Structure 1
Amino acid sequence: MDPDNELPPNLQIGNKNVMVVNDSGSRRKSEKKKQKCKKSQLTTCTDELSMDHIDMVSVEIGKDWKRLCRQLDMTEADIEQLQFDYYASGLYEIMYQGIQRWIQRNGRAANIKTIAEALWEIDRDDIALRLRGQSQE
């Protein structure tokens, strides 16, 4: 092996933490893009959201909560206010209250089908499909 072409060894800290030193970027993560379901696979149920639906979305949405709020036509001011009001309570409470405000503003239009389609639009069809499962129970 040519010493001029040899890369320095990786640095290991602890049992599972490895830092790659002087990586040229030749190693790419081999992540496959998740296949999105077809929109027709989503629920057609126009029932009101139950507490179980709201709870499940609030738990599962994670870092995509702002994208969902925007998809539900909330303004940036609405989103900032939610974050300000419920930051100390955590992400679950921010999303829970956001869904509650969306329901108050939209009445009957705020239903399982509408939120499932919004989730599908932000590539969270995993949650949208779970809504379908819950609405069929």
Structure 2
Amino acid sequence: MTDDYGGVQHWTDLLTQREVWQDAEGVIHRLDDLPPDRCARIHAFCMRQADGVYDLIGMQLAAAPEMSETATEAFDRAFDSFMYDTTPAAWLAGTPLLEALRARSYDLPADWRTCHCGYPLVDEKGELWDHSACYPGVIID
């Protein structure tokens, strides 16, 4: 089920999800409905903007509201980790949206942990299940 993403102001608002992309006209598209080559182009577009996105999100985080001392210390640790423990490209590539776009660019489901049919791609032991007969929209009874 797709959440309501009607209030998306900028594509960076979608970084924490694996379901949709908003195009330049403001139209929301399910990632699983987009062709792999388009997802690859969107992924490349996002990655070209990694430095700017990282700085933008860092500035937004720096403007956090006033908190208790304990909360402030925890926030400062998390913020320092965000700003200094990784590169902008590595951070952006690890977000759910970019992982989903990368999976779709290889013609996998956007949520690569789950097949088009709704069942997991691997079992609890980490072994692959055979989903060769699955396709988008398949209904499993």
Q: TM-score, normalised by structure 2?
A: 0.26
Determine which structure has greater relative contact order: mean sequence separation of CA pairs < 8 Å that are 6+ residues apart, divided by chain length: 1
Bigger helix fraction = 1
Q: TM-score, normalised by structure 1?
A: 0.27
Q: Greater CA radius of gyration, 1 or 2?
A: 1
